[in-house]
Each structure stands twice: as structure tokens, then as C-alpha cells.
Amino acid sequence: MSAVSDDSLAREGGAPADWPGKLGGRFVVFDGPDGSGKSTQFRRLVGLAEAAGVTVCEVREPGGTHIGEEIRKVLLDAQHEEEAPIDLRCEMLLFMASRAQLIAQRVRPALARGELVLADRFISSTLAYQGAGGGLPVEEIIAVGKVALQECWPDLVVVFDVDAATARARMNPLLRGQEFDTDQDRMESKGDAFHRKVRQGYLDQATNDPGHYLVVDARGEEDEVYGRMCAGLAERVKQFTDKG
């Protein structure tokens, strides 16, 4: 963390300083390839919003509920691959099942209370990983998504974009100061070609629906990324407010 305060960085680029206080009642997703650094920026936005008086409902996917955390264990368990690889549609449906529970149990009630719902991954991950990466047709994912989400689509998906080399370096256990990477889950252990497709999957989503996506260049130092994220969010929050 730098000596410069989060608040002063949040104003970078002449962005109006009051935008974090206007996040209440919105549903914002942070997403991106493994190693994009999104979770670090997630924590910083939580701090900024709370300092502005906004109650934040933090959720992560897959998981975020008791049922969802059980589903998460099944999905990320590398053991399955050794026995029999999980069927792609089974995988997608499990992610969606976790999501349906999350929306019913946490997202909808929090939005109704006027909180900011900040999600670490959402359906944008399914479109990138099972869709672009795995090859499942987008139409199938969207059709199941409509059933699971019941109209509860995010106001904004912030995509932290990194090239494969940067992402790999950030996930590299030696660079992270660990001798062995015992943490690598089933998704993280897929190859470079898969992760390149995933990255492109996020960029394509943003190109096809620019009103609901904000792409942040996630290369470089944490504070630089934070400054870019805040400048982008300030602009989008202004648009929310203008639309009412």
C-alpha cells in the first residue's frame, strides 16, 4: 500500500470525489482472469465505499452462502480431473446453482436494503471460462443465466484485464514467496491457451455490451491500477446518477 491515501488516489484525473457515496443500491461485479489482481482492488473499493458511508454486501463466486461454499469445493477440487473430468454442462450448471442461491439469499435482500452489492466474479466468469475458454455456446449460458438470475443482472461489470504473462507471474508461487504452489485449484492449473481464450472472452463481452462493462488495464503497480479503476468508476457512477 502506498503512502498516498486511497481517497486522494480516488480523485485522480479530476474525478469528482463524491462518487463512492453514490454506490448504494447498485450491483457491481469485479471480474477478470486468474492473476488479474481484482481481489486486491476489491478490498480497496470496499474500504472507499464504507468510508463514504455506504454499507457494502461483499459476495464471492462460486460460494458466498453455505450451499454455495459446498458447491465451490466440488467445482475447484482438482481430484475430479484424475477420476473423470467434470462435464462442461455439469460445471456450468453448478456455477449457476451456486449463483441462484446467492441471489436469493444475499444479493436481492441487500439491494432492497440500499446496500452496494460488490461481487467477486459473477455470470461474466461463466461466459469467459465455460463459454470462451471451454467452448460452451453463449446462448446456452445466457438461457440458464436467465433462470438463475431472475432479472438480477449487475449494473456494472469491472473487468481487470491482464496479458497471460503478467497473470502467470502474479500466480507464480516463487514470485509470491511460496516454495510450492499447493493452492493452485483446478481452474488455475489449466494451460496458457485456455487462459488466453478466457481473457479474450472478457474483452468480447465488454465490446458487445459497453454500457454494462468497464475494462481496467490491470498491468503495473497496485496504485496505478487503483487510480485507473477509480477514474473509470467515477465516470460510470455519474452515468448511473444521470439515468436515475
Q: Which is nearer to ligand TMP, 120 or 155 (CB)?
A: 120
- Report the relative pairing of strands 156-161 and 213-217 from DSSP bridges: parallel
Q: Nearest CA to 48 among 187, 175, 230?
A: 230
Closest approach of ligand TMP to the CB of residue 45, in Å:
16
Q: Environment class of residue 7 by beta-carbon count within 10 Å: exposed (0-12), middle (13-18) or buried (19+)?
A: middle
Closest approach of ligand TMP to the CB of residue 202, in Å:
11
Distance separating alpha carbons of residues 3 and 223, to the nearest angstrom: 10
Closest approach of ligand TMP to the CB of residue 100, in Å:
12
Q: Which is nearer to ligand TMP, 18 or 209 (CB)?
A: 209
Residues 6 or more apart whose Cβ sits within 8 Å of residue 91: 75, 130, 134
Q: Which is nearer to ligand TMP, 60 or 106 (CB)?
A: 60
* DSSP symbol at 21: G
Closest approach of ligand TMP to the CB of residue 13, in Å:
28
Residues contributing to the site for ligand TMP (CB under 6 A)? 34, 60-62, 95, 121, 125-126, 129-130, 187-188
Q: Which is nearer to ligand TMP, 20 or 35 (CB)?
A: 35
